[in-house]
Homo-oligomer: A and B are copies of this chain.
Amino acid sequence: MNLKQLSELLGLSQTTVSRALNGYPEVNEATRERVLQAVKETGYRPNKAAQRLATGKAGSIGLVMPTAPGHQSDVHFGEFLAGLGEEAVRHDFHFVIMPSDPDDEVAALRRLAISGNVDALFIAYMRAHDPRLAMLKSLAMHYVVHGRSFGAEPDYPFLDIDNEGAFYDATRLLLQLGHTRFALMNGPMHLDFAIRRRNGVISALGERGLTLEEDCMSHALMTDEQGLLAMERFLQLPERPTAILCSSTVMALGAIRAVNQAGLRLGEDISLIAHDDVLPLLKPESFSVPLTTTRSSLRAAGVRIAQRLIGTVKQAGPFPDQELWKTELIVRASTGPAPQRP
């Protein structure tokens, strides 16, 4: 069933039917009713490809998903997508996901953009000096970046959380509790958020004349397993750190296991603060020792980015170009006063 058939059925022109469907004012209310009725009866749906070709609008947001045989999928990705989707479904938008070899992301992004398949792009997993930014600017297509790119001029639309502030505050809390030996379990070093979090820690420590030694820093994928390994390494250091900052609750999971295995008590021998993206599968408050966290909902960020993206495409009012969300510092039982030196 297409427009032509429908209009013949109704004895109207395609023009009128099209206008009736798209809410144009120059069509008689009675006629519109008749059209709507027919649509209901026939189950007619406009062909999106044709619509897109005619209007140039696709009703969709594009994003590139890095993937390859060895490439790890990411819990955070799904949660963020859920947020995007939550907003998209309200506007009848959908997503076009282009899978891409992680080494080929720039090209994949370009292909996606000029395919005519999408109205706007969403970019994540930002790196320092991210090469995608230059490409995006040359593209004349709406986009919003989740995160920022350390070292690049901040002249692009983004939504980010204040990673530096979050880890600065967390570090300060631990300092106030008397800790002096710190360690940081971070995400992959090339990622923007990891850099900023590290800076936050270093800057807070610096104010007290403390430094973060190389062997008290770990950069790895944010998995349970890596958390275990990193913590084991920390615990074997001659001057064992007592205050640990961790970039993810998933990673904290493994880290806590390492603490337990070493016969140490969380919140007493070792204080731990992790960043919490509010993943539904992992509630820091119900950990056996409830976890002190810096919190910011990944899903909420997804909703907001979808709002901005869709709003811009639909030209529904102006949106701020750059947003920096504060995180919450939520103190629970995994942080406590520094233990007395033995």
CB distance from A216 to the nearest CB of B (A): 23
Indicate if A268 sits at the interface (CB-CB under 8 A).
no
Interface residues of A in 64-113 (CB under 8 A from B): 65, 67-69, 71-75, 77-79, 81-82, 84-86, 88-89, 94-101, 111-112
Using CB atoms, name the residue of chain B closest to A261.
Answer: B288
Is B73 within 8 A of A79, CB to CB? yes
Contact A67 to B85, CB < 8 A, known contacts A223-B281, A281-B223: yes
Contact A281 to B224, CB < 8 A, known contacts A78-B77, A101-B89: yes
Is A50 within 8 A of B116, CB to CB? yes
Q: Which 8 A-B pairs have the closest CB atoms?
A: A85-B99, A78-B78, A73-B82, A67-B85, A89-B99, A49-B52, A47-B116, A72-B280
**Which residues of A approach B to under 8 Å, CB–CB?**
43, 45, 47-50, 52-53, 58, 60, 65, 67-69, 71-75, 77-79, 81-82, 84-86, 88-89, 94-101, 111-112, 114-117, 221-225, 228, 250, 253-254, 257, 260-261, 279-283, 286-288, 299
Is A115 within 8 A of B45, CB to CB? yes
Is B94 within 8 A of A94, CB to CB? no
Is A47 within 8 A of B280, CB to CB? no
Which residues on the B side are within 8 Å of A99 (C-beta)?
84-86, 88-89, 94-95
Instruction: Report Cα–Cα, A18/B304, bound state, in Å.
Output: 41
Instruction: Report Cα–Cα, A250/B280, bound state, in Å.
Output: 11
Instruction: Report Cα–Cα, A257/B112, bound state, in Å.
Output: 45
Which residues on the B side are within 8 Å of A88 (C-beta)?
99
Using CB atoms, name the residue of chain B closest to A71.
Answer: B82
Is B67 within 8 A of A78, CB to CB? no
Most B CB within 10 A of own CB, among A53, A82, A101: A82
Instruction: Report Cα–Cα, A254/B281, bound state, in Å.
Output: 10
13 contacts between A and B (CB under 8 A): A50-B116, A67-B85, A71-B86, A73-B78, A75-B75, A78-B81, A89-B99, A89-B100, A94-B97, A222-B281, A223-B280, A223-B281, A225-B286
Which residues on the B side are within 8 Å of A254 (C-beta)?
286
Q: Which of the residues B58, B75, B115 comes within 8 Å of A281, measured between beta carbons?
A: B75
Which residues on the B side are within 8 Å of A73 (C-beta)?
78-79, 81-82, 279-280, 299
Using CB atoms, name the residue of chain B closest to A58.
Answer: B49
Given contacts A68-B89, A223-B283, A228-B286, 12 further A-B contacts (CB under 8 A): A47-B115, A48-B115, A49-B116, A67-B82, A73-B299, A84-B99, A89-B101, A95-B96, A96-B97, A225-B283, A250-B281, A261-B288
Is A97 within 8 A of B85, CB to CB? yes
